[in-house]
Structure 1
Amino acid sequence: MKTLQLDNQTIWYDETLLKEDPQQVFCPEFWQNSGKVIGSAQGRGTTWFVQTATIAAALRHYRRGGLFGKLVNDSYRFNGWQQTRSYQEFQLLNLLIEAGVNVPRPIAARAVKNWFSYRADLLSEKIPNARDLVSILIEKPLPAKMYKKIGQEIRKMHDAQVNHTDLNIHNILIDDQGKVWIIDFDKCFQQSGDNWKQGNLDRLKRSFEKEESKRAVVWNQDKFNFLCNGYQGK
Structure 2
Amino acid sequence: MKSSLSSLGYARIEYRDIALIFKTSRPELPALLMNQGIIGSPSDLKGRTPVHILEPDMVARTLTHGGLFGHIAGPRFLSTARSMRELEVSAFLTSEGVPTPEILAVRIIRKGIFHHISVISRLVSDSVDLLTYLQEHSGDRFSLTIFEQTGDLIRRIHESGVYHADLHIKNILLDKNLLPWILDLDKAYRFSRLGFILRRKTMNRFIHSCRKWHKKNRITLPEEWESALRMGYDQEGVKKRYEP
Q: TM-score, normalised by structure 2?
A: 0.80
Answer yes or no: is the 8 Å Cα contact 2:158–2:194 preserved in 1: no
Gaps of 5+ in 2: 1-9, 237-244
User: Which of 92, 101, 116 is the equivalent residue of 1:95?
Assistant: 92
Q: Which residue of 1 aligns with 2:6?
A: none
1:11-50 equivalent positions in 2, closer than 5 A:
11-17=20-26, 19-20=28-29, 21-24=31-34, 27-28=37-38, 31=40, 37=41, 39-40=43-44, 46-50=50-54
Tell me, what secondary structure is at the counterpart of 2:13? strand
Answer yes or no: is the 8 Å Cα contact 2:48–2:128 preserved in 1: no
Q: Which residue of 1 aligns with 2:188?
A: 188
CA drift at 1:218: 2.3
Q: Which residue of 1 aligns with 2:108?
A: 111
Q: Distance in 1 between matches of 2:48 and 2:70?
A: 9
Q: Structure 1 residues 39 and 116, CA, compared in 2 at 3 Å: closer, same or farther?
A: closer
Of all paired residues, the percent bearing the same amino acid is 21
Q: Distance in 2 between matches of 1:26 and 1:99?
A: 34
Aligned length: 221
Tell me, what secondary structure is at the counterpart of 2:170? coil
| Structure 1 residues 149-174: Cα deviation after superposition (integer angstroms, max 9, x where no partner) | 11111111111111111111111121
User: Which of 134, 140, 165 is the equivalent residue of 2:131?
Assistant: 134
Gaps of 5+ in 1: 32-36
Answer yes or no: is the 8 Å Cα contact 1:2–1:14 preserved in 2: yes
Answer yes or no: is the 8 Å Cα contact 1:26–1:123 preserved in 2: no
Answer yes or no: is the 8 Å Cα contact 1:13–1:22 preserved in 2: no
Q: Distance in 2 between matches of 1:220 and 1:209?
A: 11
CA drift at 1:135: 1.4
1:134-153 equivalent positions in 2, closer than 5 A:
134-140=131-137, 141-143=140-142, 144-153=144-153
Q: Which residue of 1 aligns with 2:72?
A: 71
Question: What is the identity, as a one-letter code, of the residue corresponding to 1:19?
Answer: E
| Structure 1 residues 73-127: Cα deviation after superposition (integer angstroms, max 9, x where no partner) | 222223xxxx532222122111110011000011100223345432211111221
